[in-house]
């Protein structure tokens, strides 16, 4: 099956700094990628949808200037958490939509801890 990777798998950063998370589709081209965050014991919350070569579409309540998303190629999307705060600590998961109409392939997730 299709493989999606994320890097880093976990990161600890200090409050006020920025962190970039990469999401790559390894063996297929992903025209659409999704970014989710998940708090412990809670469901996935869609943050934004990114299409290659265009601006990301953010969900209501998600600050686009704080969570910068770039989908520069058909295999790479990045999420940058700017001026991170402890409340941004979460599990961030990306997924990519391939040519199949019904499957989304998830990356392994990135655990962010802001101290």
Partner 1 sequence: GQNIDQPTEMTATEGAIVQINCTYQTSGFNGLFWYQQHAGEAPTFLSYNVLDGLEEKGRFSSFLSRSKGYSYLLLKELQMKDSASYLCAVRDSNYQLIWGAGTKLIIKP
Question: By the criterion CB under 8 A, which residues form the site for partner 1?
Answer: 34, 42-46, 49, 91, 93, 102-109, 111
CB of 95 to partner 1, least distance (A): 8
Encode burial over 74-89: b for 16+ CB neighbours within 10 A, e otherwise: ebebbbebeebeeebb
Neighbours of 60 (CB within 10 A): 4
CB of 87 to partner 1, least distance (A): 20
CB of 57 to partner 1, least distance (A): 10
CB of 85 to partner 1, least distance (A): 23
- Whichever of 64 and 111 has its CB closer to partner 1, that residue is 111
Among 113, 109, 82, 114, which residue's Cα sits nearest to residue 9?
109
- Whichever of 76 and 91 has its CB closer to partner 1, that residue is 91
- Whichever of 15 and 41 has its CB closer to partner 1, that residue is 41
Among 42, 82, 78, which residue's Cα sits nearest to residue 62?
82
- Whichever of 43 and 54 has its CB closer to partner 1, that residue is 43
Among 101, 112, 6, 94, which residue's Cα sits nearest to residue 46?
94
């Amino acid at each position: 099956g299709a493989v999606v990777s994320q890097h880093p798998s976990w990161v600890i950063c200090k409050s006020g700094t920025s962190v970039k998370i990469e999401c790559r589709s390894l063996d297929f081209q992903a025209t659409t990628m999704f970014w989710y965050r998940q708090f412990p014991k809670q469901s996935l919350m869609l943050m934004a949808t990114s299409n290659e070569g265009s601006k990301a579409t953010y969900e209501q309540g998600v600050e686009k200037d704080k969570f910068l998303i770039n989908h520069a190629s058909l295999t790479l999307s990045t999420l940058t958490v700017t001026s991170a705060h402890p409340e941004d600590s979460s599990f961030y998961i990306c997924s990519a939509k391939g040519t199949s109409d019904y499957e989304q392939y998830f990356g392994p997730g990135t655990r962010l801890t802001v101290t």
